[in-house]
Amino acid sequence: MKYSRSKKLFGSDFEILQNAKIILLGVGGVGSFALDGLYRTGVTNITIVDFDVYEESNQNRQMGSETPGAIGSVKVDHLKTLYPNVTAINQKVDQAWIDSFDMSEYDFILDAIDDIPMKVELIKKYHKKLISTTGSAKRFDPTKIEYINIFKTYNDPFARKIRDMLKKDRFRKSFKVVFSSENPNCKELGSFVGVTGAFGLTMCSIAIKKILSEKQIK
User: Can you give the pLDDT at residue 215?
Assistant: 65
Q: How far apart are CA 100 and CA 23, in angstroms?
A: 15
SS3 at position 108 = strand
* Domain 4-137+190-217 = CATH 3.40.50.620: no
Q: What pTM did the predictor assign?
A: 0.95
User: Can you give the pLDDT at residue 214?
Assistant: 78
Q: How many CB atoms lie within 10 A of CB 107?
A: 18
Q: Can you give the residue ranges of every domain in the chain?
A: 4-137+190-217
Write down the mean pLDDT value for the chain: 96
**Whats the size of the chain, residue-wise?**
218
DSSP designation for 128: G
User: Can you give the pLDDT at residue 217?
Assistant: 47
- At 200, the amino acid letter reads G
- CA torsion 177→178→182→184, rounded to 10°? -80
Q: Are 23 and 129 in contact (CB under 8 A)?
A: no
Q: For the segment 140-181, what is each residue's pLDDT rounded down to a tens digit?
A: 999 999 999 999 999 999 999 999 999 999 999 999 999 999
- Quick one: which of 108, 97, 105 has its CA closest to 130? 108
Q: Are 24 and 110 in contact (CB under 8 A)?
A: yes
Q: For the segment 25-77, what is each residue's pLDDT rounded down to a tens digit?
A: 999 999 999 999 999 999 999 999 999 999 999 999 999 999 999 999 999 99
